[in-house]
Amino acid sequence: MSYRLSEEQEMFRQTVRRFAEEKVAPRVSEMDKEDCFPRDLYQEIARMGLPALFYPLEYGGSDADLLTCCLASEELCRVSTSVGAFLGSIHSLFSSCFKLSASKEQREKYLPDVTSGKKICAFGLTEPDAGSDIASMRSRAVRDGNEYILNGVKNFNSGIDFADMTLVYAKTDPSAGIKGISALIVEKGTPGFSYSVTGRMLGFRGIHHCESVFEDCRVSKENLIGKEGEGFQTVLKVLDEGRTLAGASGVGTAQGALDYAIRYAKGRIQFGKPIAQFQAIGHMLADMATMTESARHLIYRAATIVREHTRESMKLATMAKYFATDVAMKVTSRAVDILGGYGYSEEYPVERMMRDAKGLQIYEGTNQIQRNAVARVLLS
């Protein structure tokens, strides 16, 4: 199957690259130091039409294919992993769930505002005792007339403090195991819904990871996405897209570190010549470029088939996530090595890229659990 970029996709890549360098890059240091995501920057991203990529045309979206969405995340992550990963993971998870399960009325109610950037969405799945083990979640949603009473705790919920609505997964029938998990939209301000920032993270600065608490939180039955008990199967399909986009974030982060390391090596003079002319540095750069390009091709390959929702597409999405984010960690670490003491300084961006790359290895399912998933497919 071909995954060569079309002329239109290549033009799109260049457009997003210019936007990232002109609008996002000047704000990255502020985001990292202040641990904040400027709302006006998100509005700039929305005006560029980047959230719209993930949504259907009839609701103001552009209904882009997954490869195009990956290009957007990749280019944003070249300058800011926080911005690119947030765009990719949140909108892919939210939009995929809606496309798979939401009613026409629910799409009409929520998607136009999310697509335009007027409102921001978030995704609540992980719990303190149910990270990779989704089936062990303890959150409960009990039907009471025309409402569900939601109780439970979610953690590591990216950007919930920033969002206007959250897609929350909970068990509506605990006795049914994974077949008892359902999805509900909970809007900010709903009585019984509260959240707090869990603390400053090593990376991904600007995107707060929150703990969300639901205490007798009443949610209208109209906010149930799909049918009761369909949540787990939807999540499995949704996460394939999220993993592919996480991998694209890894490629972008690696490329940003490689680009910076090349510029630095050309300009840094030691022993009378640029360090780029030393074989040791040249070999490091060659390996970094080769790993990044290998990861890019795996991501693009996965992006072309993930929406088929087959065992093969699941396997490739999972491989793409762990391979590309491992590459990001290796490449950013070597970029720090090339800069030496400067690489370890906050005055240079590669230490931030390395911190962010570590986060990419963990979120959207740790790379260890991804390897488990691939092994199951291979051995089944």
Return the active site residues: 364
Write the CB contacts of 193 (distance below 8 Å, at least 6 apart in sequence).
150, 186, 212, 213, 214, 217
Which pairs with CB-CB distance under 8 Å and at least 24 residues apart come from 131-134? 131/156, 131/366, 132/365, 132/366, 132/369, 134/169, 134/178, 134/181, 134/232, 134/235
